[in-house]
Amino acid sequence: MKEVEFTEEYHTQIETIDYEHAKLFQYINNIINAAQLGEGSRLIIEINLDELISYTVYHFKTEEELMQKLNDPNYESHKKAHDALKERVLDFKKRFDAEENITEELVSFLENWLIKHIKGVDMQYVELFKENNVK
């Protein structure tokens, strides 16, 4: 597995959101790097998975609160996408806790989901956020 880069194409040009997205990429990379350590990496993966889950919840709350405040018409569908991801990641966590080797599957899923979500769903709110001076 190789690290995922938070490249310009994923930038929304909204400082807060880009910072949070970059942190999500970093947690995924931390899991990738830990997995490459081999023996003894399980604890590091677990810590980063827990931090990724917590930070994802925080990030989703940021987006959802802004969308609600600005009466974004896409709020409901966006929240459903967030809820589906949270459910899926918690399922990965349960499997990890049950000693399943889910690291490659988890990383592949997260990378694909995050990129598609940012480039598709998140880009829908960019203009609304900019019009309302969201930084």
What superfamily would CATH give domain 8-131? Hemerythrin-like (1.20.120.50)
Residue range 107-117: mean pLDDT, rounded: 93
Residue range 13-23: mean pLDDT, rounded: 96
Sequence-distant (6+) residues with CB within 8 A of 43 are none
Report domain extents, the chain. 8-131
Instruction: Indicate the average pLDDT of the chain.
Output: 94
Residue range 96-100: mean pLDDT, rounded: 93
Count helices and strands in the chain by DSSP H and E runs: 5, 0
pLDDT band at 23, cuts 50/70/90? very high
Is the pLDDT at 47 greater than 90? The verdict is: yes
Is the pLDDT at 39 greater than 90? The verdict is: no
